[in-house]
Each structure stands twice: as C-alpha cells, then as structure tokens.
Amino acid sequence: MQVAIPLDKMTVEDKLRALETIWADLQRSSEDVPAPKWHEDILSAREERAKKGISGFDEWSEAKRRIRDRTQ
C-alpha cells in the first residue's frame, strides 16, 4: 500500500504527532513487529560483557539520576 503524506506542507509538530500516532499503533501489536538482527547482536554482545564482568547493570532509578545529572 502506497501512502502519500504531504511532508513538505506539514509542520515539525504535525510530523511528530504523526510519528507518535504510528508508534502508538505499532505498540498495540508489538509482537507482530520483528526485531532487526542487529538488536540480537547487540544484546548478545552486552550479555557476553556482563558474563565476563566487563559490564554491569544499575537500578533504573540510579541510571535515571545519572542521566538527569549529566543534562543539568
């Protein structure tokens, strides 16, 4: 199906709203959205680094705090 979207006539706000609408729709059936091969590759590499003790994990609340601190 070909979809024509008048991107040249849309504001940035309109484009972002369209993206959010599409993303929300995709999330309703996320099991039907295939993950690309590179996602698996990255997750496997991260898992291997964690097993070797090279990388670790933080609590989400701590990670959010660090991100906030970097942006201030």
pLDDT at 8: 97
pLDDT at 63: 93
Instruction: Tell me how many degrees the CA angle 53-56-57 measures, rounded to the nearest 5.
Output: 155
In contact, 33 and 26? CB cutoff 8 Å: yes
| Domain-wise residue ranges, the chain | 35-72
Confidence band for 71, pLDDT divided at 50, 70 and 90: confident
User: pLDDT tens across 10-56, in order?
Assistant: 999 999 999 999 999 999 998 888 999 999 999 999 999 999 999 98
Quote the CA–CA distance of 22 and 33 in Å, as a whole number: 13
CA distances (Å), origin 69, targets 57, 63, 65, 72: 18, 10, 6, 5
Whether the pLDDT of residue 72 is over 90: the answer is no
